[in-house]
Amino acid sequence: MTTDRLIVFDTTLRDGEQAPGFSLRTEQKLRLARQLAALGVDVMEVGFPVASEDDARAVELIAREVRGPVLAALGRCNVADIELVGEVIRGAERPRIHTFIATSDLHMEAKLRISRDECLRAVQTCVARARDYTDDVQFSAEDATRSDMDFLCQVVDTAIAAGATTINLPDTVGYSVPSEVSRFFREVMARTNDADGVVFSTHCHDDLGLAVANSLAAVLAGVRQVECTINGIGERAGNASLEEIVMATRVRRDLLPFATGIDTTRLFRTSRLLCELTGEPVQANKAIVGRNAFAHEAGIHQHGMIRDRRTYEIMRPEDVGVESKLVLGKHSGRHAVKRRCEGLGYNLTRFEVDRVYREVIALADQGKSVGDDDLVVIVNRR
């Protein structure tokens, strides 16, 4: 089986940072950018310079300081935006200009108040202007999945003819379902004049909780760049989560034969760094990086885990940079109590285990989870 390489495009510092509660100061952005580079993302979108002077300065600084990934900055499809982006990103080792315009009738009529012809002209002019700064130009058709297919194909052809090297077709409002996304990309790619000469990209929002599933459906249809964020942060319900996409391709390589450049052992600490910088915790049951993602409390599960971890873990926690834990709570069994005691250096007889177990359950029944300190106290008392 051949394994295709997926381009991981991280937009934590742009789409993620623009969500309420997630804004970062310049030095925090730089710290996160360094961590994302160490994580191994291929492309890092570092900001939307026209949004504020601070954003522009942060993009300029990251472009100067961070080496490794392609660094992209976003601008609307107007010449002033492109020129600003071109100026602030030019210090990057490998700069990319990312420009976008909405292509659905709803957005063009209600928001932009432009005709289809005006939209096509803007795409042509701005992509061509971006190419004056760099050979690496990405064009995004905002609200692509709700756009008229014939018109969207015209837009894509126009962007490629003007010099775009990556074509991103976002599911901007998270409206699509996976089967639809596959069909959508297959059709656009089949109808594009020079589809083989560009990289197609997916950018899915999570309004229906389908962002990761939709992104993977796009990849299965032939898309080779996936846009995502750490912890899935982003506008409204967020973007597709980077850690989930990467681990899905790793765990299910049989069905998703794609490789990434991500050092998965850094996923957990990257997630925690983002939490620390934004002050926003990850929900406990979040896949891959949530506090409970590798925690086992129920007795039956703990027993299975002690015998063979594969009974309840589909990936090795150390592969994402965490350790699995047997949590002692009211659903735990004697096996887990014995194992935790052994871990603390106590080899208890069956009788002793039984007594400690009953105290653990009594404590847990008061609504507490029983930590190592509690266990030491109980064992010593016994």
Site for ligand KIV in 190-209 (CB under 6 A): 203, 205
Closest distance between ligand KIV and the C-beta of residue 168, in Å?
6
Strand partners, 97: 73, 137
Closest distance between ligand KIV and the C-beta of residue 140, in Å?
4
> Taking contact as CB under 5 A, which single stretch among the options 14-22, 61-69, 181-189, 265-273 is the one that binds Zn ion?
14-22
Residue 103, interface with ligand KIV (CB under 6 A)?
no
| Residue 271 interacting entry, from Zn ion, ligand KIV, none, C-beta within 5 to 8 Å by type | none
DSSP letters spanning 26-77: HHHHHHHHHHHHHHT-SEEE---GGG-HHHHHHHHHHHHH--SSEEEEEEES
Backbone angles phi, psi at 295, to 5 degrees: -105, 140
Residue 157, interface with Zn ion (CB under 5 A)?
no
Residue 15, interface with ligand KIV (CB under 6 A)?
yes
Q: Angle, to 10 degrees, between the axis of helix 267-278 and the axis of helix 26-39?
A: 170
Closest distance between ligand KIV and the C-beta of residue 141, in Å?
8
3-state secondary structure of 372: helix
Closest distance between Zn ion and the C-beta of residue 14, in Å?
8
Closest distance between ligand KIV and the C-beta of residue 170, in Å?
3
Distances from the Cα of 154 to the Cαs of 121, 125, 139, in angstroms? 11, 15, 13
Nearest 10 degrees: Cα torsion 123, 129, 134, 138: -10
Which of 142, 157, 206, 243: binder of ligand KIV (CB under 6 A)?
Answer: 142
In the complex with ligand KIV, which residue's Cβ is closer, 168 or 270? 168
| Residue 192 interacting entry, from ligand KIV, Zn ion, none, C-beta within 5 to 8 Å by type | none
> Taking contact as CB under 6 A, which single stretch among the options 105-113, 167-175, 216-224, 374-382 is the one that binds ligand KIV?
167-175
Closest distance between ligand KIV and the C-beta of residue 111, in Å?
12
3-state secondary structure of 199: strand
| Residue in the structure block whose two tokens are 């229906």 | 208
Residue 15, interface with Zn ion (CB under 5 A)?
yes
Residue 42, interface with Zn ion (CB under 5 A)?
no
| Euclidean distance between CA atoms 58 and 64, whole angstroms | 10
> Taking contact as CB under 5 A, which single stretch among the options 9-17, 100-108, 177-185, 277-285 is the one that binds Zn ion?
9-17
- Residues comprising the chain, all counted: 382
One-letter amino acid for residue 5 of the chain: R
Strands (E) across 48-89 are located at 70-76
| Residue 16 interacting entry, from ligand KIV, Zn ion, none, C-beta within 5 to 8 Å by type | none
DSSP letters spanning 308-330: -GGGT-SS-GGGGT---EE-BST
| Euclidean distance between CA atoms 98 and 379, whole angstroms | 61
- Residues engaged in binding ligand KIV (CB under 6 A): 15, 100, 140, 142, 168, 170, 172, 203, 205
- Residues engaged in binding Zn ion (CB under 5 A): 15
